[in-house]
Amino acid sequence: MSSAVRVSGLAKRYGEVRAVDGIDLEIERGEVFALLGPNGAGKSTTVEILEGHRRRDAGRVEVLGHDPGRATRQWRARLGIVAQTTREAPELTVREMVRHFAGYYPRPRDPDEVIEAVGLTDKTRTRLAGLSGGQRRRVDVALGIVGDPELLFLDEPTTGFDPEARRAFWELIRGLAHDGTTIVLTTHYMEEAEVLADRVAVIAGGRILAVDTPRELGGRATEVAEVSWLEPAEGRRTLRAASPTQVVAELAERFGGEVPGLTVARPTLEDVYLRMIGETQ
């Protein structure tokens, strides 16, 4: 099977609210797939259904070849879940916590190797209460991967991280993906989705608006670029161009080489995302 997740016509209602309204989705094995959307868009409900933690009202769902609505213990052992909320056990050390969770799985990874993988080897004997927020989040990831999951769910994994910790975490996720783990990521950080995801889906109002690579989403790669530069005595000028390379070449010839203050920009992933979301409101 090439698909880790297959969803067709997925629906979930809460009273009169359609939290998920007919979603179709397919996630390939080994890819990093990001779900983007505002609060209340249906991301969390969709993920909880995929994890087997919430029942659907309609539609077909297959996760690793099984219906999560009829989850078994063996099937759950093939998943890893890193939720937004951290598990509280402040009196345990990092090693004690990871070893404890390893006991829940039939074929866990070596706890010490997992601790090393998340960059906490020097904190092995530290109690969780003595860790920083970013370090505690790394423990969460360790607990999510210690069972050697085929599919890993990451829900807003870097919320509260400083820039350095966030980039270190990205390297960890890249490593997991390189090793073949399928990863489903929900995030509000567009840069995070662009750096990590092979494909992204934009969700609003319980529906998927688009699925594509970060570079191609919403026709982003082919949109008109803005070429900006500094003209002597005139200040900054900006020109919208379908062929920015030609414009830059002409400017370079006119300026005799270096173009002062040159920038070339296409719409960012955030620009495209906000436009899509705005069109639904």
Per-residue pLDDT tens over the stretch 40-98: 899 999 999 999 999 999 999 999 999 999 989 999 999 999 887 666 788 999 999 99
Task: Check residue 87 and give its pLDDT.
Answer: 62
pLDDT at 62 (0 to 100): 96
Give domain limits for the chain. Answer: 1-78+150-164+172-214, 93-149, 219-279
pLDDT tens column, 250-264? 999 999 999 999 999
For the chain, the average pLDDT equals: 91
Q: What's residue 85's pLDDT? A: 65
Q: Looking at residues 124-146, what average pLDDT do you find?
A: 89
The count of other CB atoms within 10 Å of the CB of residue 132 is 13
Share of the chain above pLDDT 90, in %: 66
- Spell out the long-range contacts of 69-78 with Cβ–Cβ below 8 A and sequence spacing 24 or more: 74/106, 76/52, 77/104, 77/105, 77/106, 77/147, 78/147, 78/149, 78/150, 78/151
For the cut 90, the answer to whether the pLDDT of residue 266 exceeds it is no
3-state secondary structure 163-195: HHHHHHHHHHHHHHHHCCCEEEEECCCHHHHHH
The identity of residue 221, as a single letter, is: A
pTM of the predicted model as reported, rounded to 2 decimal places: 0.84
What's the CATH fold of domain 1-78+150-164+172-214? Answer: Rossmann fold (3.40.50)
Using CA atoms, how far residue 92 sits from 157, 171, 224, in Å, is 22, 27, 55
Taking each helix axis as running N to C, give the angle between helix 133-145 and helix 94-102, from 0 to 180 degrees, rounded to the nearest 10: 20
Q: What's the 3-state SS for 129-160?
A: HHCCHHHHHHHHHHHHHCCCCCEEEEECCCCC
Report whether 153 contacts 47 (CB < 8 A).
yes
Cβ atoms of 262 and 251 within 8 Å: the answer is: yes
Instruction: Quote the pLDDT of residue 86.
Output: 60
| Token pair belonging to 135 | 């370090």
